[in-house]
Amino acid sequence: MSSAALVTVHCSRFPGRVRAQLLDSLRSRNVNPKFHYDSYKQTRKWLRLHEALSPARNDPACEAIYDQGLAAVLKRLAPGPVHLIGLGCGGGHKDVRLLRRLRREGRDAGYTAVDVSLPMVLVAREAAQAEVPEARCHAVVCDLGTADAASLDDLLTRQEPPGAHRILTFFGMMPNFDPAHILPRLAALTRPADSLLLSANLAPGADYAKGTFQVLPQYDNELTRDWLMVFLADLGVEPSDGHLRFVIEEDPATGLRRITARFEFGQPREVWVENEAVRFEAGADLRLFFSYRYTPSRLREQLGRHGLAIGQQWVTPSGQEGVFLASSQIRSPRAEG
């Protein structure tokens, strides 16, 4: 492994934009979840909590559904090179599992790790190098929530071998975004010939409200609190300045339920982003994080609104995680040309 990494930074992550979005998050009292993955410290803490609590790391049935998803993709792949694009790759654990399987199947595979967080991209890129030669392993720092799809598509295209079959992964990402915001972007990036593998944390059981309540302890715990508080601590907010609580909310626009972390200030506090101050009065309520919980039918419905159709799905016996193989139903000029 070489002593340096080449990383492409999309303009959606240039400092001026990040600063403006941070101020917007604070002024609107709604922190975009992406701000919880920025630093090396946040990345370390998230990876630790993911390892400790994620069913994907602790439930063999969960690992199996990722394998089944890839097996289904492999069945429909024509011979030739394959390029895996991990959208929101995190530490890359799931993508690397797929890359390992591709290598064992004798497929010539490359990888592009894409994430809003530089440290995440570096962790994923390093992990992927066990399966993919360094020259075929690319790293892109990009905000998928704000990047314009055409410029990101161009950037990704330059890193793929011409004619490669593309597998896009969007694992664990749906919970962190408003679906009406992210799905048009995901649809614009997905070409009709691509295989799109997604996964989502699900609300188990037939009763949606009860199922969401059942998984609340996966969020309301010390590891998650510790991770989320790093964002506030970096702005100079002390734990004693208020109270962090987890609630379940229903999004009126979609009827989807989300687990939300809210920090209620117990005393006034001013936070500074360079020379700009944002003031929180006692009683101010800051939404610090949210995670949507889906059911397979709710996910299918949301994707369908944006021209993405689920062909196959695999759900763990616990009903808490699902992998979905989707494709784009939109005929793009690229596909026709």
Ligand X SMILES: C[S@@+](CC[C@H](N)C(=O)[O-])C[C@H]1O[C@@H](n2cnc3c(N)ncnc32)[C@H](O)[C@@H]1O
Residues binding ligand X (CB under 6 A): 33-34, 37, 88-90, 93-94, 115-117, 120, 143-145, 171-173, 176
The candidate with the shortest Cα–Cα distance to 56, out of 247, 230, 258, 199, is 199
Structure token pair of residue 48: 């630790």
Would you say 109 or 116 has its CB closer to ligand X?
116
| Smallest gap from residue 275 Cβ to ligand X (A) | 26
| Smallest gap from residue 41 Cβ to ligand X (A) | 13
Query: 114 with 87: CB under 8 angstroms?
Result: yes
| Smallest gap from residue 258 Cβ to ligand X (A) | 14
Query: 37 with 117: CB under 8 angstroms?
Result: yes
Query: 324 with 308: CB under 8 angstroms?
Result: no
Would you say 33 or 211 has its CB closer to ligand X?
33
Sequence-ordered list of residues with C-beta below 8 angstroms from that of 74, at least 6 positions apart, any chain: 101, 102, 105, 107
Would you say 31 or 109 has its CB closer to ligand X?
31
Sequence-ordered list of residues with C-beta below 8 angstroms from that of 116, at least 6 positions apart, any chain: 13, 34, 37, 38, 88, 141, 142, 143, 144, 145
Query: 160 with 125: CB under 8 angstroms?
Result: no
Query: Strand pairing of 109-115 and 82-87?
Result: parallel
| Smallest gap from residue 172 Cβ to ligand X (A) | 3
| d(C-alpha 42, C-alpha 116), whole Å | 13
| Smallest gap from residue 270 Cβ to ligand X (A) | 27
Helix, strand, coil percentages (3-state) for the chain, rounded to 5, are 45, 25, 30
Would you say 183 or 269 has its CB closer to ligand X?
183
Would you say 89 or 237 has its CB closer to ligand X?
89
Would you say 69 or 88 has its CB closer to ligand X?
88
| Smallest gap from residue 197 Cβ to ligand X (A) | 11
Would you say 196 or 242 has its CB closer to ligand X?
196
Q: What is the DSSP string of 185-237?
A: HHHHH--TT-EEEEEEEB--SS-HHHHHHHTGGGTSSHHHHHHHHHHHHHTT-
Residue with CB nearest ligand X? Answer: 90
| Smallest gap from residue 265 Cβ to ligand X (A) | 25
